[in-house]
Amino acid sequence: DSCGGNQFPLPRNEINKILFEGSQKGTKHLNKVLTEYTKEWGHKLAQKALEIADGDFVDVTGPLSATMEIISLPLREPIPREDALKLIEDVPVDVGFVPYPHENRNTNWVRMLLRYYDEGLPFPTRTTDMICTDDTYLIHKEDKEFLEKYDYSIHDELPCVYEETIVAMIGDMPFVAMQGEVCAPIGMRIKDTFRTNRPIFVTAYMGEHNLYIPTREIVRLNAYQAQVIQIQYACPVGWSPEVEDEMVHAVNRIVRKTIGEEEPEEMESE
C-alpha cells in the first residue's frame, strides 16, 4: 500500500548510524555508501514484488461504488502566550506568511500563533476547523480576514479540509484512499482489521495536499512527520496524541458501513 509517511527499510536509529558513520569519512564516501544501500534495498523490494506477482490472485471483478467522508482529527492545545512571545524573539516577524521555498516558511506557524492571540481568534481543536489553501496554509473557518486574503487559492465549491477519506468497493474488495501522507502503522492497523476475512486495498497520498497524518509515537517524539502541520502548514497548534486512534477508528467505521458490517460492541461504547 502507499501508507508510507514514515516507512523506512531499516529502523530509524540504524539509518542514523549509517548516515553518521558515512559522513565521518566525507561526502564522497557517504554518497557511495548510500548508493550501495539504495541498490540493495531496491533489489530486495523488487524481489518481494516479483514474489507477490508470481503468487495466487483473487478475482475482485464486480460493481463499483464509492463514498467519501471528512474525518475530523484532534489537535493539541496551544502553547501559552508567554511562551509564544519568547519564540517570536528568534523569528523574523516582518516577513508575513511565506510559501515554499522561502527560507522562513518553517516559522510561519509562530507568526500565526501570535496572530491568533493578538486577534483573539479561536484556536482550532480539530482539523475540520480549518481550510487548506493552495499555498498550504491552514486557515481557521472563522478567520474572515485571511479567508478573504487567500480566497484566490481556496476552492469555493470543494475547499480542502482534512481528513478526506474515500472508501470504494470493487466487487467485494474495499479500496481505501486517505488524504495526505498517512504514516505506515495507521495503514497496517486498518488492513489488519479486515484482511483475514477479505482482500482490502489501503492507500494514501490522495487529494490536493500531502499533510502527514502521524502516529501516537511520532507525536510523542515530536518527529518530523508530527511537525509538518506547523512548519509547513502554518497551523498554530500541533497534533493530539489521539490522532492515530481516531483516524484508524473512523476509517474502520466507514469501511464497515460500506461493506454492511456492524460495529463491534466495544467500538459502539466508545
**pLDDT, mean of residues 175-189:** 95
Kindly tell me the burial class for residue 253, based on how many C-beta atoms sit within 10 Å of its own C-beta (0-12, 13-18, 19 or more): middle
Q: How far, in Å, are 137, 140, 153, 156 from residue 148 at the CA level?
A: 13, 12, 10, 12
Chain centroid, CA 242 distance in Å: 14
Torsion of the alpha carbons at 140, 142, 143 and 149, rounded to the nearest 10? 100
User: Are the C-beta atoms of residues 175 and 168 closer than 8 Å to each other?
Assistant: yes
Task: Supply the pLDDT for residue 207.
Answer: 87
**pLDDT, mean of residues 48-77:** 94
| Residue 96 Rama label (left phi>0; alpha psi -120 to 50; beta) | left
pTM over 0.95: no
pLDDT band at 209; cut points 50, 70, 90: confident
pLDDT tens digits, 156-176: 888 999 999 999 999 999 999
User: Are the C-beta atoms of residues 198 and 172 closer than 8 Å to each other?
Assistant: yes
Task: Supply the pLDDT for residue 270.
Answer: 46
Order of strands across the sheet that contains 64-70: 64-70, 164-170, 173-179, 201-206
Task: Supply the pLDDT for residue 79.
Answer: 97
Query: Angle 108-119/81-88 helices, nearest 10 degrees?
Result: 140
State how beta strands 212-213 and 181-182 pair: parallel
**pLDDT, mean of residues 216-238:** 96
Task: Supply the pLDDT for residue 269.
Answer: 43
Cell of 76: 493539541
Give 257-263's long-range contacts (Cβ < 8 A, gap of 24+): 257/67, 258/65, 258/67, 258/167, 258/168, 258/169, 258/174, 259/169, 259/174, 259/198
Give the integer Cα–Cα distance in Å for 150 and 144: 10
User: In 3D, which of 25, 55, 4 has the Cα closest to residue 199?
Assistant: 55
Task: Supply the pLDDT for residue 180.
Answer: 92
Give the integer Cα–Cα distance in Å for 192 and 255: 13
- Considering the chain, what is the average pLDDT of its residues? 92
List the chain domain ranges: 12-53, 60-270
**pLDDT, mean of residues 115-140:** 96
Kindly tell me the burial class for residue 141, based on how many C-beta atoms sit within 10 Å of its own C-beta (0-12, 13-18, 19 or more): middle
Q: In sequence order, which ranges of 81-206 are alpha helices (DSSP H)?
A: 81-88, 108-119, 144-149, 184-194
**pLDDT, mean of residues 63-85:** 97
